[in-house]
Amino acid sequence: MSSEFEMTEPSSAPQKQGDSVPALRRAVLILDLIAKADRPLLAADIARLLDLPKSTAHGLLSVMLELDLLVRNPDGAFHMGPHPMRWADGFLSKMDILAVFKDYFAKDTALSRYTITLTVLDREEVVYIGCRHSDQPLGYMFRIGMRLPAPFTATGKMLLSELPPA
């Protein structure tokens, strides 16, 4: 199995001595593993890759299926279920993306030499909804609300490339 499946404890999760909820940590490791996998994984793969007892893996997987966190293919392999999308929607609906953009790039000095834009696609045009201009003159100033034809901008080309050909 390739090294892309090797998982460690999530670094953002605080570790406490004598943690009383190891099942939750294991469930998150399973979700992280399945989310990063390039193919659906069997229960035996999950148990082996995370070094879990098979009975523990099967118990966690059963509950995760019941809660729609995971879905099982007819061949028995697992992939992400629909329930995490509710969490994503709950997170994104309460997040001010423009404030996050501004805060992140205000703190990140490594990219201060570059102009960075936050852009959305509106039919055949890109609309600039956020911009952090560089210290060095670019020769062009982006304005919030400015619209340009998508095929003539780098971000527009990238956004268009993700659409179906039709």
Q: Which domains does the chain have, with CATH numbers?
A: 3-87 (1.10.10.10), 96-161 (3.30.450.40)
- Is pLDDT above 90 for 116? no
Distance in angstroms (rounded) separating the CA atoms of residues 14 and 9: 10
46-93 pLDDT tens trace: 999 999 999 999 999 999 999 999 999 999 999 999 898 888 777 767
pLDDT band for 15, please (50, 70, 90 cuts): low
Strands 116-122 and 147-149 come out as unpaired
Tokens of 148: 């340009």
